[in-house]
Structure 1
Amino acid sequence: MDRVLPPGLASTTTVNFQPPGGGRAAPRGDFVMIADEVQDALKALRRGGIDGVSLHNHGLTDEPRLFFSHIWAVDDAVGLARAPRPAVAVTNSEPAAWSRPGRT
């Protein structure tokens, strides 16, 4: 909706990867979406082998209405590393400048 929400407002999508060993990864994180994005984003995560373990909102009267899904998986590190991108692509999100390849 043409509004920039700074990361300090905790309205960002984050995925952290933990290394359990054996070529596996355990991504966990928080996806933030508006209502129209929820189904497509969760479907994209599931296709990539990542489970949504909760879906909730933080505010009572936020505008736009934001939904948060906590995510979790343990599997092949390379496959799971590719999984979040299609889900982010169906949201109206833009990676922070510092996280884009080729930027510092």
Structure 2
Amino acid sequence: MQTAIHKHLLAHEPDVWWVHLHAHGHDPVAIARGLRAALDYTGTPPSVPVTSSPRVHLDTAAIDAALGVKGFADGEIYKCTYVRRETVADGPVILPPGLGSTTSVNFQPLGGGRAALSGDLVMIASEVQPVLVALRLGGVELVEVHHHNLTDEPRLFFVHYWAVGDAVRLAKSLRRAVDTTNVVPMPGGAA
């Protein structure tokens, strides 16, 4: 079942959309086959195992200090991830931390300490406006506010954002938005 369709960036070339799907069942292989069939209709390439990540050319120690989380390299992208503190359920299913309820921060190095920043923040309704205000005050562009699931509890919303500039300054700006939400660093640092 499709639960959401949205963009992560305003100006993709080509125009790219994300679709969120929801499935429950007793046969995970059947669900995986259905997902694979859907992916076959898209230009989504299969994942390729990474044997080693190249060095990310950013001050990752300063980014980590600004965000209060230990990030990790994923190819040439530096990622930091947070999860909701409260238990999140989707209908009758309790979701493990990170499954559909993460705040992700992604830095793409541009040289000279600059980065393109993108990602999303997970919020409950009362956190949406404080997050949006903090992002705007930090010079971070808002891309979209949306949801991923239809029956999640607590009800979660996501905002995608975008900015280009000094990576550490952007991390500090983003931290003000993260601090308005009820999240903690993702255990193990990966989502």
TM-score range (shorter-chain normalised) is 0.7 to 0.9
In structure 2, what is the Cα distance between the partners aligned to 1:55 and 1:78? 25
Note the aligned Cα RMSD (angstroms). Answer: 1.8
Corresponding position of 2:97: 6
Are 1:81 and 2:171 an aligned pair?
yes
Asked if residue 61 in structure 1 is aligned to residue 151 in structure 2, the reply is yes
For 1:102, the equivalent position in structure 2 comes to none
User: Which residue number in structure 2 is paired with residue 35 of structure 1?
Assistant: 125
Offset of residue 21 of structure 1: 2.1
Q: Between Structure 1 and Structure 2, how many residues are aligned?
A: 98
Q: Could you give the per-residue CA deviations for residues 22-66 of structure 1, whole angstroms, max 9, x where no partner exists?
A: 432111001100010000011111111111201100111211110
5+ residue gaps in structure 2?
1-84, 89-95
Aligned partner of 2:161 in structure 1 is 71
The CA deviation at 1:83 is 1.3
* Shift in alpha-carbon separation, 1:19–1:2, aligned structure 2, 3 A: closer
Distance in 1 (alpha carbons) for counterparts of 2:86 and 2:170: 31
Structure 1 runs (4+) deviating above 2 angstroms are 96-99
Larger helix share, 1 or 2: 1
SS at match of 1:30: strand
Structure 2 Cα separation of the partners of residues 14 and 77 of structure 1: 15
TM score, norm. by length of structure 2: 0.47
